[in-house]
């Protein structure tokens, strides 16, 4: 049978700034998934897309073709509406852990299909796997049952959801095309639309520790993703949130779980609580349940009850002690004054080098590795007092982690005025 297109024709069209037809897009995504189009050909096309972009129809077609490469989930049989959240990735970003049970405690089911960390950004599944017994892989039947009985599930996406994206993501990672907004947007949205959630809130990170360094680029990505979700019938909104400074006081795996539990218990760092509640309100409004205030569910303990049930349902022990690192190293403040900058990228790299992250997708992570910081920008520090504590099971990693932190923070004169950037910068949708 003669193919309706060929890869070179598609590549040349986009290389020369042309617009790909729906037929071309459907063909090339399907052919690449089946192995008919070679990696080097898709690499060339991805680079052409990075350089020349795509219009809204092309991006929608590309997303639809990736969805069509696999199966779709269906939550219509549930007794409550569904809402999900996706973060574009940051440092100390443990928000999913308290957020999913919080929204479930307000009457909305949360099918949170999450991923693992790569590079300096942490992965939700890596964090949860530090809980003894907890498992990330669930069948579709288990997901549906847990959503009905518990109200929330955080698990790995099955192999059947958007397999074209899984193959293309790995290629983009090694060909310098990760930053292409059409490919970022279609990668995220193909999985979220195939997942079948009724409403979606996007947390688009902006700043040094995020993939989007500028507000304009982040807003462009948010607008594209909101349009894709809306066109697919998913109620979608996006918040642009600050990632110049890492979230909370920890970056790692087990230490971020511990901080999330503090939030569910009614405490925790103010910025983590603020963003958790802000995203919860958006999810509830999108799901038609804005009559409930999530702050009340944190205060009355019902969100913690859902957390415990969720962990137990996936084989974990919510009462078990979390892993602790065999070795720690304390970094003191170099001088007295006001901490005026704490760079998210520097902290993320340090945590990664301590063993909290991975350099290859198949590499293991250390559950107890990471960085704790004892002050946030705007806080007064005293010379020699602990500023950071580094955690790892392999102390030979301390040197490279310390190198990552060099130049990653500023302590200014005691009378220095500090004006933070708002945590929530903008809203799209």
Residue positions annotated with a catalytic role: 86, 165, 172, 187, 191
Secondary structure of the chain as H, E, C letters: CCCCCCHHHHHHHHHCCCCCCHHHHHHHHHHHHHCCCCHHHHHHHHHHHHHHCCCHHHHHHHHHHHHHCCCCCCCCCCCCCEEEEEECCCCCCCCHHHHHHHHHHCCCEEEEEECCCECCECCHHHHHCCCCCCCCCCCHHHHHHHHHHCCEEEEECCCCCCHHHHHHHHHHHCCCCCCCHHHHHHHHHHHHHHHCCCEEEEEEEECCCCCECCHHHHHHHHHHHHHHHHHCCCEEEEEEEECCCCCCCEEECHHHHHHHHHHHCCCCCHHHHHHHHHHHHHHHHHCCCCCCCHHHHHHCCHHHHHHHHHHHHCCCCCCCCCCCCCEEEEEECCCCEEEEEECHHHHHHHHHHHHHCCCCCCCCCCCCCEEEECCCCCCEECCCCEEEEEEECCHHHHHHHHHHHCCCEEEECCCCCCCCCCCEEEEEC
């Amino acid at each position: 049978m003669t193919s309706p297109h060929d890869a070179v024709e598609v590549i040349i069209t986009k290389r020369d700034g042309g617009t790909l037809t729906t037929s071309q897009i459907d063909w090339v995504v399907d052919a690449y998934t089946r192995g008919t189009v070679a990696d080097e050909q898709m690499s060339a096309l991805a680079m052409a897309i990075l350089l020349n972009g795509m219009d809204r129809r092309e991006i929608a077609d590309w997303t639809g073709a990736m969805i069509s490469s696999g199966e779709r989930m269906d939550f219509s049989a549930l007794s409550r509406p569904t809402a999900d959240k996706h973060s574009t990735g940051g440092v100390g970003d443990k928000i999913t852990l308290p957020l999913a049970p919080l929204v479930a405690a307000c009457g909305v089911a949360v099918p949170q299909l999450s991923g693992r960390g790569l590079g300096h950004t942490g992965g939700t599944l890596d964090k949860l796997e530090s809980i003894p017994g907890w498992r990330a892989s669930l069948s579709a039947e288990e997901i549906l049952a847990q959503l009905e009985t518990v109200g929330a599930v955080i698990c790995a996406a099955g192999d059947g959801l958007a397999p074209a994206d899984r193959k293309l993501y790995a290629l983009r990672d090694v060909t310098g095309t990760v930053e292409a907004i059409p490919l970022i947007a279609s990668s995220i949205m193909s999985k979220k639309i195939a997942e079948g959630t009724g409403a979606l809130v996007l947390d688009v990170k902006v700043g040094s520790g995020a993939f989007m360094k500028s507000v304009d680029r982040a807003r462009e990505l948010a607008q594209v993703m909101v349009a894709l979700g809306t066109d697919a019938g998913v109620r979608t909104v996006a918040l642009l949130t600050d990632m110049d400074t890492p979230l909370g006081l920890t970056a790692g795996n087990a230490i971020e779980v511990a901080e999330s539990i503090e939030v569910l218990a009614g405490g925790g760092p103010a910025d983590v609580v603020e963003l958790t509640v802000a995203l919860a309100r958006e999810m509830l409004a999108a799901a038609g349940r804005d009559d409930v205030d999530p702050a009340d569910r944190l205060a009355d303990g019902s969100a913690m009850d859902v957390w415990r049930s969720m962990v137990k349902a996936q084989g974990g022990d919510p009462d078990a002690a979390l892993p602790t690192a065999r070795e720690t190293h304390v970094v003191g403040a170099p001088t007295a004054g006001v901490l005026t900058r704490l760079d998210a990228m520097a902290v993320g790299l340090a945590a990664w080098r301590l063993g909290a992250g991975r350099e290859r997708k198949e590499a293991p992570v250390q559950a107890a590795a990471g960085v704790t910081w004892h002050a946030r920008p705007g806080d007064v520090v005293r010379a020699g007092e602990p500023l950071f504590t580094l955690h790892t099971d392999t102390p030979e990693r301390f040197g490279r982690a310390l190198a990552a932190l060099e130049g990653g923070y500023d302590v200014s004169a005691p009378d220095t005025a500090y004006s933070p950037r708002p945590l929530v910068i903008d809203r799209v949708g």
